[in-house]
Amino acid sequence: MAFRKIDISELSFNPFDKIGKQWMLLTGGNKEKFNTMTASWGQLGVLWNKNVLTCYIRPNRYTYEFIDNDECFTASFFGEEYRNALSFCGAHSGRDCDKAKETGLTPTEINGCMTFAEAELILVCRRLYSYDMQESGFLTDDGIPEKFFSSDPYHRAYISEIVGVYVKE
């Protein structure tokens, strides 16, 4: 399937729906070795005069090592017909299975980064800054650390410049 590069100003969607409800696949690595994971936490905006995506990955996720070690990664968005594939990619580790084979998604490369041919929208991202979340950073006492981090490690946040936007032709 072919993709067409568009200007980021052509995007028109609700990021709360796109990220929080429809989800995205974060994919790092290269043709020889890559991994993807489902994410429903993230932000889109402007920082340092750049269009950015901020995403969050726990260090125990297999995708973490790919995104942490590569300059670029993709955030890919899919139609509702791929909900089961995204559910699978969020619930299984690429250490234990071939997610593309299991879901029927077709790995493809765009701008030197891995994504999937079935995506409707792809953001190619270049890492700019990362930081590790920690309990001491919480400014309120509304139970977030206990709810989200009682048995899992805190996420690393990646602020990344969106260097390419592609839509399915």
In the chain, % of residues over pLDDT 70: 99
- 73 and 127 in contact (C-beta within 8 Å)? yes
> If you average pLDDT over every residue of the chain, what do you get?
95
127 versus 144: the higher-pLDDT residue is: 127
Q: So what's the pLDDT on residue 143?
A: 86
105-125 pLDDT, tens digit per residue, is: 999 999 999 999 999 999 999
Asked if the model's pLDDT at residue 14 lies above 90, the reply is yes
Asked if the model's pLDDT at residue 25 lies above 90, the reply is yes
Q: Average pLDDT of 84-88?
A: 97
- Calpha distance 114→75 (Å, rounded): 10
Asked if the model's pLDDT at residue 58 lies above 80, the reply is yes
User: Based on the number of CB atoms within 10 Å of its own CB, is 130 exposed (0-12), middle (13-18) or buried (19 or more)?
Assistant: middle
pTM of the full structure: 0.95
- Calpha distance 139→1 (Å, rounded): 46
Q: So what's the pLDDT on residue 139?
A: 87
User: Parallel, antiparallel, or unpaired for β 72-77 and 121-132?
Assistant: antiparallel
Asked if the model's pLDDT at residue 1 lies above 70, the reply is no
Q: So what's the pLDDT on residue 148?
A: 84
Phi and psi dihedrals of 159, rounded to 5? -95, 120
Q: Average pLDDT of 28-33?
A: 95
- 7 and 167 in contact (C-beta within 8 Å)? no
For domain 3-168, give the CATH superfamily: Electron Transport, Fmn-binding Protein; Chain A (2.30.110.10)
Asked if the model's pLDDT at residue 42 lies above 80, the reply is yes
Q: So what's the pLDDT on residue 146?
A: 85
Domain boundaries along the sequence of the chain: 3-168
